[in-house]
A and B are shown apart, each in its own frame.
Chain A
């Protein structure tokens, strides 16, 4: 290893925990009869990120139901349709739906080149 002083990453343990919880929730959903456990883990994930003020990536955030906090995986747990030129995610648990734009020119901030200033490896 180089003898550089490594900067300490802020909130690394929280990110580690959130990542682990997402994996757990994904794992529990694939096994039969554990959807309650899965939604409890993802509920904890949302709560942890809210308490510690460490944000999720938009794609991860969008895959969690806004109402009942279950992880939505299309085909297993949720439905994705295009209705009225808009993308609709429907949660099968609480039947709440989210709408997204389908406009190809619409871009998230994180996809821009200016958004990434520096990448650090820990």
Chain B
């Protein structure tokens, strides 16, 4: 039912209804004539009263969704074609970065230092890609003793490349890791490292946590 306002503007509301009924009687097919009586109470909405559809302006989106990332092959790492020897440059870079970041030289901090907690916090906020990790303890028995350089870190996993040129995915939650820097040895309790790597640099870190023995 569409009526323009020009047909209807001069007449009042009731006469408008009468006009409309007459128009319907003329134009509708006969079998629907009986249904016309049921329409008496209803109100009519004309197209002029109805809201005009505004033009939807689409801005060009700049980010990629997860699906599109998968299509371009930049969401996950490939499983094959990894070489442990090629990653040696990365390991050297990581050592340089950690020495710089932790301010190790000229003085290596001990637990008696006043800024010992600060040291721990900067350690927890640093990057682990490029580190040489070994698994000491794990609920998954096959993974105990596994060693390799970290290639990617996600919220729940470390992905490492072993000296046998394989990509292994280690779950953080049930295992404990170690890494060495020069002559210092650090342990990571995977249970407390379950944060997205991008959010780690701003998260407040508790200084005292109970290790899971």
Contact = CB atoms under 8 A, between A and B. Distances in A.
Interface of A: 13-14, 16-17, 19-21, 23-24, 27, 31, 33, 35-37, 39-41, 43-44, 47-48, 50-52, 66-68, 70, 93-94
Given A16-B101, A68-B69, A68-B74, A24 B201 contact: no
Given A27-B90, A37-B152, A17 B126 contact: yes
A24 B97 CA distance: 11
Residue with the greatest number of chain B CB neighbours at <10 A, chosen from A13, A33, A52, A70:
A13
Contacts, number: 74
Given A24-B90, A27-B93, A52-B201, A36 B129 contact: no
B76 interface: yes
A40 B89 contact: no
Given A33-B78, A93-B74, A51 B152 contact: no
Nearest to A54: B201
B76 A36 contact: yes
B201 to A, nearest CB: 5
Contact of A68 (B72, B126, B197): B72
B62 interface: yes
Interface string B10-24: 000000000000000
Interface in B39-79: 62-64, 69, 72-74, 76-78
B126 A23 contact: no
B148 interface: no
B104 to A, nearest CB: 13
Nearest to A122: B103
B32 interface: no
Contacts of A70: 74
A20 to B, nearest CB: 4
Give the 9 A-B CB pairs with smallest separation, nearest first: A47-B198, A20-B97, A39-B74, A16-B101, A17-B127, A48-B198, A33-B81, A14-B201, A52-B201
